[in-house]
Amino acid sequence: MMEFAWIIPLFPLLSFLLLIVYGKKWGSAAPYIGMLLTFASFIVSLLVLVARFENPTYKAEATWLTIGDATLTAGFEVNQLNALMLVIVSLVSFLVHMYSKGYMQGDERISVFYSYLGLFTFAMLGLVLSPNLLQTYIFWELVGVGSFLLIGFYFYKEEAKAAAKKAFIMTRIGDVALFIGMILLFWQVGSFEYDEIFASVSAGTISSEMITLTAILIFIGAVGKSGQFPLHSWLPDAMEGPTPVSALIHAATMVAAGVYLVATMFPVFAASEAALMTVAIVGAFTAIFAASIGLVQKDIKRVLAYSTVSQLGFMMLALGSAGYVAGVFHLTTHAFFKALLFLAAGSVIHAVHTQDIEKMGGLWKKLRLTGPLFLIGTLAISGVPLLSGFFSKDEILVATWVHGHTILFLLAIIAAFMTAFYMFRLFFLVFGGEARGDTNHVKESPNVMTVPMWVLAFLAIFAGYINTPWFGSFLGDWLTDGNAALGHGHIEGPIWIMGLATAVSLLGIALAWLIYSRKSLSRDWLSSRAPYAYQLVNKKYYIDEFYHFTVVKAASILSRVARLFEVIIVEGLIKLITAFITGLSKLGSRMQDGQVQTYGTVAFLGLAVLVIVLALTGGYL
Amino acid sequence: MTFPYLLTLIVFSPLLGILVLAFTPKTKESAIKLIGVLATIPALILTLYLYIAFQLGAKLSDFAEKVSWMQFANPEVFNSVYSVNYELRADGFSILMLVLTALLSTLAAIASIHIKKEWKGYFILFLLLQIGMFGVFAAGNLILFFIFFEITLIPTFFLIGKWGYAEKEKAALSFLIYNGIGSAILLIVIMFLFAKIGTTNIEALMSILSNKAILSESTKMTLLIALIIAFGVKLPIFPLHSWMVRVHVEAPPSIVMLHAGILLKIGAYGLIKFGIGFFPEQFQSLATWIAILGVINLLYGAFLALIQTDFKKVLAYSSISHMGIVLIGLGAINSAGVQGAIFQVVSHGLLAALLFWLVSIFYQRYETTKLAELGGMARAMPVTAGFLLVGALGSLGLPGMSGFIAEFMSFLGLFKSMPILAAVGCLGIILTAVYLLRAVLSITFGEGKTTNKVKDMETIEKIPAVILVCLIVAIGVYPDLIASGLTNTIETIVIGLGG
């Protein structure tokens, strides 16, 4: 079965091509084409995953480009990690395709929407299948375009335009670092193939400085894509895209690509303690940094966006603490519960036509299905025991502790507390209490939207059981099977970590309940006591403003300098040349003034010069 | 497999069209336009035949032609006779350029439907220009090269000066002055070589000049610098570029398609063929400077593109920036870099043609290319807006399209020889994305600003765009498509460079 894995990305590609060409003609049939083809992808992915359980890694390649002596190849590979990713991506993509049928109902550009979804899914699946760094980079950029197109789907909105541009450019900054890292690695190894890179790294043919440098450059690429600090600020803005897109791209799949890349390149990172440390610090810092911003956001999607940034930070922290399995595990569970949360949020927005949580409230009674679904997602992400997020977050905390990062461990615990708090703040403000907006017309979403959410809810609850300290670490054992560089399937940690994690998440929930449901504590109790801190967090630490006054300003100053140079020097040069030539021709025309004496002088002088030249050279220069 | 005089047929096939046009009344607009387009078809078929024959393994020597043309100097006084032959020949690179020229000529002829006046004169000059371009790439010696090179200048001058926009005369004049100076320098170099060595045959010169005894080191260096200036005007290399911005802005878009697509590339062709071909060792010692100039071109063009308010100017500076990639690839002096430079020549040709065709399409409807006056085009003209976005994405080096391959290989090459400089140059990759998205999104996205009732692209207008996009994607997805034909050429160049 695995030899047919290449067909998986082709279904959504076909969907993209068909819909971009015939979409207008087919109109309302577009969603069905998209759904059918991604479903086909999902089925094949599932078969490939099953096949991978029994067979070794499969890899096929062909020549793609010859450069001098080097031959670059293109192909595909099925290993444990990407077999798992294939299923996650195709499943979430299929569910989002289905959900969008209801969510985007009535939009006249629905076929365009589905074609973009197809393009994105194609690129994401292609990324996952890539057997070498160059091919990964190619699809890496293509998912960026898919994301760009979908963020800018409502192209006539200025905010959407700005957000799409920002997403593309900020991720590209990371991509360039990845590009450099990839090329440097190529000149060290002589190949882009993962196998050969890992072989060179373990054989020690690359200097340790070079490994650290390339690993960090590649990590910067991951920082851009996964919205890690300091390249995170595009991700919340990306919420301008339609909500199903946020669920698919900016929660479950594309933003996880950075984590996936670090996981794929793990043997390189593992060879450099400095690189691992960088990953861990950036991850932990992002986790707590984004969580703190999430505490005060008023837009339902932005809270979820900052939560995504924060959770991706957790994954990076895991990888940076040598917790390969923990990172991948959390990537998996997060894909399910975060997609669920976004789809549920979409269902709320679909019902109340606002994203402002101040205008919601009391929706538990109105949205009988969405409410419980959202609650399941909230419980899972908060790390409440027995749901998937609980197990994966626990793995991360254990990995961090065991690796000896005490400070980072503390940061992660605080971030976990904040997560529980802001998620339940969100839940109580949206669903609890009395309605603050007009809720007369609020209707539950149609089945086509709720069914995908139920599937995700099921996974958000039970996906954790593939890797638990109690029933065996099936996922971990399988992922690390036959590859010592990836570490152990399960890291044994002290039992109190689980207790502490449970305690902080319950504490967070309790505090949110006291403030936003019981209202025993005033909402602005804290913010009124620390107004500056509140302002700082509310303004997202002024990161965008900082970029505006540094990077953007610097670029525009440089542009102006260049223009000054262009106007004065370069244009001056052309004026000089023109003036010189005109002057010369004026001189020539002045000679022809009708005076025979002048003509005679010129003719004589010319003849004299010619004679001298002839005499000196013998006629041949 | 091949037949005699194939190259001659290609070069002079547009003459047939000129002949027919000469007998067509100048008021018959649609007939003239049809003839104009049809006249480019024979060359297209012939060059494709040439390309396929070459790919199937035809020997390059089978294409070469040689007829004795003129001789001078008295054999009784001098021991050598100066003979100039009419000789044409082709290699992998020039075959590629011939195909590109034929293809873009056909597409630009189709694009000429937007020309509004004096179609007869326009198409006669257009076909004459085509002969010049073919000749440049097929010429077997420097004299012929120079003659064809000059043939391209004159029709271009009139095409800009007569059918262009508001400041067309000024643009045509600076075009002529700069290129005139460039070709004067080129002529000096050619004459010097002819006088000193006694032949202008390109292959003969390559082998003779590789002999160290011929010409002193400093003479060679002077000649190389002269060549770099002569072709640098054409490419253009910073700071010799200001004429080219004017031409991009003022010339009719169909001519800019050819200008940006082919004529600028003669600069790159000359640099590779003669600069590196004749003086590989000297080129190598200048490599760092070439690469630095490349990075300057790349960044300078990008920074200026960032603040332009007219879309045509954005594209003009973007061309300058993209030609920096060619220099970066050449400065790398290894096979990856040289291959990247050649790919960039082809890729930018296709992308520039696509973008200027789209400019022509929306100028036709909105009568402006000012960014501030445009906006929201995606609503009224979704197909055009889509193509524009594709063009921009291709231009900013999105993988899956030709621009990426060129950029990737050039930087791959430069990172091997000068990693720090290459890292600085990578800034250009970010800037390119910034200025192209800024410009294109302000045209296509946002609220509509114009009230003009416009129709989206007509079928005939879609033809060039679709063909170009298909080629751009084909090269991007499977670059070996053209890379395989270039292996020998690049090998020759790189061996000349000593490794």
User: What six digits make up the tokens of A514?
Assistant: 């006291």
Whether pLDDT at A458 is above 60: yes
pLDDT at residue A217, rounded to an integer = 94
Closest approach of A155 to chain B, Cα-based (Å): 5
**Looking at the complex, does the CB of residue A167 fall below 8 Å from at least one CB of chain B?**
no
| Angle, CA A227 vertex, CA A221 and CA A230 arms, to 5° | 80
Residue located via tokens 């018959």: B28
pLDDT of residue B408: 93
Whether residue A145 and residue B376 make contact (CB cut-off 8 A), yes or no, is no
**Burial profile A432-442: b = 16 or more Cβ within 10 angstroms, e = fewer:** bbebebebeeb
| Whether residue A178 has pLDDT greater than 90 | yes
A56: left (phi over 0), alpha (psi -120 to 50) or beta: beta
B4 residue type, one letter: P
Bridge partners (DSSP) of residue A61 are A75
CA distance A603 to chain B (A): 25
Cβ-based neighbours of A138, under 8 Å, separated by 6 or more = A126, A130, B399, B400, B404
Q: Is the pLDDT of residue B275 over 60?
A: yes
pLDDT higher at A529 or B255: B255
Q: State how far residue B121 is from chain A, nearest Cα, in angstroms.
A: 28
Question: Measured in Å, how far apart are chain B's first and last C-alpha atoms?
Answer: 34
Rounded Cα distance, A423 and A379, in Å: 9
Mean of pLDDT over chain A: 87
Is the predicted pLDDT of residue A175 greater than 90, yes or no?
Answer: yes
* Interchain CB distance below 8 Å, A155 and B446: yes
Q: Band the pLDDT of B451: cuts 50, 70, 90.
A: low
Q: Using an 8 Å Cβ cutoff, are A400 and A409 in contact?
A: yes
Q: Which of A67, A176, A216, A563 to mutate to test the interface with B (most CBs of B within 10 A)?
A: A67
Q: How far is A149 from chain B (nearest CA, A)?
A: 10
- Give the residue from A178, A79, A89 showing the smallest Cα distance to A125: A89
> Of A70, A248, A56, A36, which is closest to residue B336 (Cα–Cα)?
A70
DSSP one-letter string for A56-78: --EEEEEEEEEETTEEEEEEEEE
Residue B181 predicted with pLDDT over 80: yes
Q: Which of A65-74, B248-257, B281-290 has the lowest mean pLDDT?
A: A65-74
Tell if the CB–CB gap between B433 and A559 is shorter than 8 Å: no
Confidence of residue A549 (pLDDT cuts 50, 70, 90): confident
Contact A559/B307, CB-based, under 8 Å? yes
DSSP letter assigned to residue A367? -
Q: What angle do CA A252, A257, A260 make, to 5 degrees?
A: 110
Backbone angles phi, psi at B65, to 5 degrees: -130, 150
- The chain A residue lying nearest B405, using CA atoms, is A65
Q: What confidence category does residue A177 fall into, taking pLDDT thresholds of 50, 70 and 90?
A: very high
Peptide bond into A230 cis (omega under 30): yes
Kindly list the residues from chain B whose CB atom is less than 8 angstroms away from the CB atom of residue A566.
242, 304
Q: What is the pLDDT of residue B389?
A: 92
Q: Could you check whether the bond before residue B239 is cis, i.e. omega within 30 degrees of 0?
A: yes
Residue B23 has pLDDT above 80, yes or no: yes
Q: Which amino acid is it at B486?
A: L
Angstrom distance (rounded) from CA B113 to CA B37: 10
Instruction: Name the pairing type of β-strands A58-67 and B82-88.
Output: unpaired
Whether residue B441 and residue A165 make contact (CB cut-off 8 A), yes or no, is yes
| Contact criterion met (CB below 8 Å) for B36 and B16 | no
Among the partner residues A66, A158, A169, nearest to B437 by beta-carbon distance: A169
Alpha-carbon gap: A561 to the closest alpha carbon of chain B (Å): 9
Contact A307, A381 (CB under 8 A): yes
In the block, residue with structure tokens 């060059």: B47
- Cβ–Cβ of A563/B378 closer than 8 Å? no
Cα dist from B344 to A413, A582, B93, B229, B325, whole Å: 52, 37, 12, 20, 7
CA pair distance B354, B356, nearest whole angstrom: 6
CB contact under 8 A, B334 and A68: yes
Q: What are the chain B neighbours of A173 within 8 Å (beta carbons)?
A: 430
Q: Find, among B40, B14, B10, B167, the residue nearest to B111 by Cα.
A: B40
- For residues B259 and B353, give the distance between their C-alpha atoms in angstroms, rounded to a whole number: 9
User: In chain A, what percentage of residues exceed pLDDT 70?
Assistant: 98
Subunit contact B399:A556, Cβ cutoff 8 A: no
Handedness of CA A81, A87, A91, A94 (dihedral sign): positive
CA-wise closest residue to A11 among A150, A145, A92, A122: A122
- What is the average per-residue pLDDT within A181-207? 89
Residue B125: pLDDT over 90: yes
Cα–Cα dist A248/A95, whole Å: 9
Domain ranges within chain B, ordered by starting residue: 1-278, 286-499
Distance between CA B394 and CA A115 in Å, rounded? 19
Residue of B nearest to A156 (CA): B446
- What pLDDT score was predicted for residue B76? 62
CA distance B302 to chain A (A): 8
- Which of these, A35, A40, A153, lies nearest to A101 by C-alpha position? A35
Decide if pLDDT at A112 tops 80. Answer: yes
> Of the candidates A155, A184, A570, which has its C-beta nearest B239's C-beta?
A570
> B426 and A169 in contact by Cβ < 8 A?
no
**Kindly report the CA angle at A256 between A234 and B440, in degrees rounded to 5?**
40
Q: What is the pLDDT of residues A327-375, one digit of tens each?
A: 899 999 999 999 999 999 998 888 888 888 888 877 888 888 888 899 9
Residue tagged 């804290």 (tokens): A526
Residue of A nearest to B334 (CA): A68
pLDDT (average), residues A258-272: 91
Q: What is the pLDDT of residue B2?
A: 65
Check CB contact of A569 with chain B, cutoff 8 Å: yes
| Shortest CA gap A570–chain B (Å) | 6
Residues of A whose CB is below 8 A from B198: none
pLDDT in tens, A83-98: 888 999 999 999 999 9
Residues A176, B426: C-beta atoms closer than 8 Å? yes
Residues of A in contact with B411 (CB under 8 A): 179, 183
A512 touches chain B (CB under 8 A): no
pLDDT at position B447 is 79
Angle in degrees, CA B275, B279, B282, rounded to 5: 105
What is the CB-side half-sphere exposure of residue B104 using CA atoms within 13 A? 35
Contacts with B202 (C-beta within 8 Å, 6 or more apart), sequence order: B89, B139, B140, B141, B142, B145, B273, B274, B277
pLDDT on residue A483: 72
What is residue A591's predicted lDDT score, i.e. its pLDDT?
Answer: 74
> What does the DSSP 8-state code read for residue A593?
S
Sort out which chain B residues have CB atoms less than 8 A from A152's CB and list them: 441, 445
- As a whole number, mean pLDDT of residues A382-409 equals 88
Nearest CB among B404, B411, B445 relative to A183 is that of: B411
Contact B307 A172 (CB under 8 A): no
Q: What gap in Å lies between CA A163 and CA A142, rounded to an integer?
A: 18
Query: Average of pLDDT values for A120-134?
Result: 92
CA end-to-end distance (rounded Å), chain A: 78
With 80 as the cut, is the pLDDT of residue B9 above it? yes
Q: Which residues of B touch A141 (CB under 8 A)?
A: 398-400, 404
- A–B CB contacts, 8 A cutoff, strictly below: 138
Burial (CB < 10 A; 0-12, 13-18, 19+), residue A584, is exposed
C-alpha closest to that of B2 among B69, B106, B88, B129:
B88
A10 and chain B in contact, CB less than 8 A: no
- By Cβ distance, the residue of B431, B480, B494 closest to A68 is B494
| CA distance, residue A241 to nearest chain B CA (Å) | 14
Cβ contact A141–B399 (<8 Å): yes
Contacts with B499 from chain A: Cβ below 8 Å: none
Using the predicted structure, report yes or no on whether residue B52 has a pLDDT greater than 80. Answer: yes
pLDDT digits (tens, 9 = 90+) for A400-425: 988 888 899 999 999 999 999 999 98
Average confidence (pLDDT) over A99-103: 89
Asked if A180 and B195 come within 8 Å (Cβ–Cβ), the reply is no
Q: pLDDT, tens digit, for every residue of A472-513?
A: 777 777 777 767 677 766 677 788 888 888 899 999 998 888
Q: Which of A67, A160, A569 sits opposite B239 (nearest CB)?
A: A569
Q: Tell whether A614 is within 8 A of chain B (Cβ).
A: no
Signed CA dihedral, A510, A511, A512, A514: sign only: positive
Instruction: Say which of B195, B378, B483 has its CB closest to residue A155.
Output: B378
User: Among residues 374-393 of chain A, which lie with CB inside 8 Å of chain B?
Assistant: none
Residues in CB range of B91: below 8 A, 6 or more apart: B60, B488, B489, B492
Considering the entire predicted model, what is its pTM? 0.91
Residues B129 and B148: their CA atoms lie apart, in Å, by 9
Report which residue type is found at A352. V
Mean pLDDT of chain B: 88
Closest CB from A66, A172, A558 relative to B483: A66
Asked if omega into A236 is within 30° of 0 (cis), the reply is no
In chain B, residues with a C-beta closer than 8 Å to the C-beta of A581 are 177
Q: What's the 3-state SS for chain B?
A: CCCCCHHHHHHHCHHHHHHHHHCCCCCCHHHHHHHHHHHHHHHHHHHHHHHHHHHCCCCHHHCCEEEEEEEECCCCCCCCCEEEEEEECCCHHHHHHHHHHHHHHHHHHHHHHHCCCCHHHHHHHHHHHHHHHHHHHHECEHHHHHHHHHHHHHHHHHHHHHHCCCCHHHHHHHHHHHHHHHHHHHHHHHHHHHHHHCCCEHHHHHHHHCCCCCCCHHHHHHHHHHHHHHHHHHCCCCCCCHHHHHHHHHCCHHHHHHHHHHHHHHHHHHHHHHHHHHCHHHHHHHHHHHHHHHHHHHHHHHHHHHCCCEHHHHHHHHHHHHHHHHHHHHHCCCHHHHHHHHHHHHHHHHHHHHHHHHHHHHHHHHCCCEHHHCCCHHHHCHHHHHHHHHHHHHHCCCCCCHHHHHHHHHHHHHHHHCHHHHHHHCHHHHHHHHHHHHHHHHHHCCCCCCCCCCCCCCHHHHHHHHHHHHHHHHHHHCCHHHHHHHHHHHHHHHHHCCC
- Give the Cβ contact number of residue A10 at 10 Å: 16
The distance of B17 to chain A (nearest Cα, Å) reads 36
Question: A13 contacts in B (CB within 8 Å)?
Answer: none
Facing residue for B400 by CB, picked from A138, A165, A176: A138
pLDDT at A433: 78
